[in-house]
Structure 1
Amino acid sequence: MSENLSESLLWQLKEGLFNGELLPGAELQSQRRMAESQGVSRSTVREAVGQLEAEGYVEVRHGGKTRVKNLLEPYFNMSVGQGVALGDNPEFQRQVLDVRAMLEGEAAFYAATRATDAQLQALDDEYRQMQQRGQRETTLEKAKEDLRFHMMIAESSHHLLVISFSQLFYTRFFNAIYGVLTCTLKKYGRYPDGIRAQHSAIHQAIMARNAGEARAAAVEHILYTRRHLDD
């Protein structure tokens, strides 16, 4: 009986990982709380979590906290330092934008399809805060704000690969993304007018759960920036 309960809990935890409810980097509930919430014994929880760790899905950290691992990290060889070193290279910036166009298009598509009502509300709140913050921000703050908005979309996709890759990509290549925005602001003296309209289009399509339009708007958002870089 205990073995069946352990297997059932193990599969439940895996489902949470695969559908993006348990995000890479997040901590699992303590074993005591998990046992209470699931109505099972501590030994059942310990067995299920131990199997998750053995299969490489989680790692137990100092103090006994269990963190969800990013399954793509072992295959993502470029370090954060290497990304910083390449951040001012125009050709590398273009390559980063090309990848962003594909990645954010898929994230927006799945977010429109799979986001929970609570995630849509959080995304709506973030979008409205972006509009209010406006011109008072530094270029660095704008870059961080933009990625926070897009990372929220990725996390709402409930797509394990989209979430995992977005986390790694934005972390390692932030300097290139920031560099593109800096270059654009130097060239035009302001944030391009179309960016605000594109964020609005992405936001509206996701809120309306129109997956096709969300994907198209997200892709156009990045290609618009790339065109400004090429001009």
Structure 2
Amino acid sequence: MTIELARPHSPEQHHSHRDVTGGWLRPAVFGAMDGLVSNFALISGVVGAAGAGRAAVLAGFAGLAAGAFSMAAGEYTSVKSQTELMRAEIAVERRELARNPEAEQAELAALYQARGLDADLARRVAEGLSADPEQALRVHVREELGVDPDDLPSPYVAAASSFCAFSAGALVPLAPFLFGASGLVLAVVLSVLGLFGFGAAVAVMTARPWWLGGLRQLALGVGAATVTFGLGHLLGVTVA
């Protein structure tokens, strides 16, 4: 007679998720890339028109300051407006729950039934969730609006992320001229490395191939700077 020994249970596997709703990643990535590309393009245009030197430094600082404050103000306003709209819709849902809780409970039951639960189970789940008004509000908001009422994006986080990231990105092509560089070579090298490196880092964060993210961002940035340098050169020749 063969006796089978019980196989030991595999240890329970726990996993965690990264924060994807904090409102910082999009403005940080957008700010850093915009700062690097726009200031690299701006400095390239100035160098193409007037040559390196004081003009390039002034243009770089002006581009950094103007872009950083503009990005921060834009991010704050857009995220603040989005959050205010979400809060207004949450208030509508709160009033509906207070005014007609039976209809809202039936709506929740119908939603779960449409997702595959049988009618009786869907009704009991909706009834259990609706026992606590605040819990019912959270469930309705998540299901109907697709947002978490306890984790709305912060306009301050978005503005600060955008400001700091844009400033850091814009400083990359400007740095060589602060130390007396007389041409675009070092600025190009640093900008190329920055574009590829940051694009690769973002790709790793979003589980994409690092080399693809790096090359994509490099192509976009170099393309923008090349066009701007050419326009600046033509403008400089025309003005001269």
TM-score, with structure 2 as normaliser: 0.27
Give the structure, 1 or 2, with the largest relative contact order (CA under 8 Å, sep 6 or more).
Answer: 2
Greater CA radius of gyration, 1 or 2? Answer: 2
TM-score, with structure 1 as normaliser: 0.28
